[in-house]
Amino acid sequence: MSNKTIYNALVAAGLTQEGACGLMGNMMAESTMKSNIAQRGMTSMTDEQYTAAADNGMIDFASDSVGYGLCQWTSSDRKAKLLAFAKNRGVSVGDEAMQIQFCLLEMMQSPYQSVAMTLRSSHDIDECADRVCDKYERPANNNYQARRQYARQFFNEFAGSGALSQEHVELIGTGDNACFNDGGANVGISALVIILQMFMRDAGYWNNVTGDRSPEFFAALRIFIDDLEKLGG
């Protein structure tokens, strides 16, 4: 994935342009946007050697305190969930697309929901970059200015190329009273299904937000819920 592909994926997942760039600014500060990078000075292995060892179970990936990946996940519980998430998808723990999905799903979980809310609503680049730094990355050195600068660079390069689709705007509405409209009918279950399908699409588990309650939808929903439970466990 290129940086633009990551940006487009984040905006497609419901982040504002500023939110996407604020998150990417932090990724740049943490990992230089390299998904298989192991924290410098914490291992003698190359990034490739460390990733292969993690994939093959040759190191204690979860508990070795080596920051890893786009977001430099470090704590044992988060690294364990990252590795399990990768294995469940049959990809390397260094897979970039998988890490983007993991990041978005992780932000749905406590204690990171406030970060997701900010990135989905704020149009202030500095606020988005700072919130990711403070509440999601929580580095020893906050270096706010560097993260803000990277975020602005991404915004200047990509803003306008990944705006929300008209479909997404129609689904979420605008303002504090945004709702899901079902042609004036009682929205009830249909609205709930649409909400679930929107979140599932954002996370890569569903394609079209139609509100249909097909066997395929319920099968995908079971996988989605299982993965959320694994992240929360």
Based on the domain organization, do 145 and 187 belong to the same domain?
A: no
Please give the Cα distance from 147 to 149 (Å, whole number): 5
Based on the domain organization, do 39 and 75 belong to the same domain?
A: yes
Give me the mean pLDDT over the 45-72 stretch.
98
From 158, 181, 208, give the residue that closes a domain: 158
Based on the domain organization, do 41 and 120 belong to the same domain?
A: yes
* Per-residue 3-state assignment (H helix, E strand, C coil) for 28-92: HHHHCCCCCCECCCCCCCCHHHHHHHHHCCCCCCCCCCCCECCCCECCHHHHHHHHHHHHHHCCC
How do residues 106-133 score in pLDDT, each as one tens digit? 998 889 999 999 999 999 999 999 999 9
How do residues 187-218 score in pLDDT, each as one tens digit? 345 556 776 887 888 788 888 777 778 888 88
Based on the domain organization, do 91 and 200 belong to the same domain?
A: no
Based on the domain organization, do 39 and 117 belong to the same domain?
A: yes
Based on the domain organization, do 201 and 112 belong to the same domain?
A: no
Based on the domain organization, do 189 and 133 belong to the same domain?
A: no
Token pair listed for 35 = 């998904």
Please give the Cα distance from 25 to 153 (Å, whole number): 8
From 128, 158, 188, give the residue that closes a domain: 158
Based on the domain organization, do 154 and 175 belong to the same domain?
A: no
Based on the domain organization, do 75 and 101 belong to the same domain?
A: yes
Instruction: Name the DSSP letter for residue 164.
Output: P
| Domains: count for the chain | 2
From 158, 189, 209, give the residue that closes a domain: 158
Token pair listed for 173 = 């509405």
Based on the domain organization, do 58 and 127 belong to the same domain?
A: yes
pLDDT of residue 190: 55
Query: Which domain, by its residues, includes 109?
Result: 3-158
Based on the domain organization, do 17 and 101 belong to the same domain?
A: yes
Please give the Cα distance from 93 to 85 (Å, whole number): 8
pLDDT of residue 189: 55
The domain that holds 68 is classified in CATH as: 1.10.530.10
Based on the domain organization, do 181 and 226 belong to the same domain?
A: yes
